């Protein structure tokens, strides 16, 4: 079995167990949602990524484009709700970061 196949199996398990459910234009995907304003503040660490983002697998990225609607299936306190994809940023590691903007 090739290395990439092994990593795909690991990703399947990690995303199934730890992932957040999201709907991209009605299509269900598992991803890792992060909203910077919800992260604990430890010291004065600053990062360049300020927007909320959803990291998905490349195989789930087919047909995903900027300006599509994303529903994050979490409580409002955890950042769940409606978002719009601002940009799609492949990482070169089998994952794609969807930079999101909150939909009013």
Taking only the tens place, the pLDDT of each residue in 71-99 is 999 999 899 999 999 999 999 888 999 99
Q: How confident is the model at residue 2 (pLDDT cuts 50, 70, 90)?
A: confident
Whether 42 shows a pLDDT value over 80: the answer reads no
Mean pLDDT for the stretch of residues 23-44? 80
Secondary structure (DSSP) of 41-89: --TT---S--S-EEEEEGGG-TT--TT-EEEE-S-GGGT-EEEEEEEEE
How far, CA to CA in Å, does 45 sit from each of 25, 33, 48, 99? Answer: 34, 20, 10, 20
Q: How much of the chain exceeds pLDDT 70, in percent?
A: 88
Whether 31 shows a pLDDT value over 90: the answer reads yes
pTM of the model: 0.83
Angle (CA) 4-25-52 rounded to 5° is 70
Instruction: Determine how many CB atoms are found less than 10 A away from the CB of residue 17.
Output: 8
């Amino acid at each position: 079995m090739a290395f990439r196949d092994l990593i795909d199996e690991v990703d399947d398990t990690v995303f199934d167990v730890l992932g957040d459910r999201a709907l991209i234009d009605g299509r269900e995907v598992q991803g890792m949602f992060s909203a910077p304003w919800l992260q604990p503040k430890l010291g004065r660490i600053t990062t360049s990524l300020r927007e909320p983002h959803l990291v998905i697998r490349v195989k789930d990225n087919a047909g995903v484009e900027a300006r599509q609607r994303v529903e994050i299936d979490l409580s409002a306190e955890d950042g769940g709700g409606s978002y719009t994809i601002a940009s799609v940023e492949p990482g070169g590691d089998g994952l794609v970061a969807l930079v999101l903007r909150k939909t009013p």
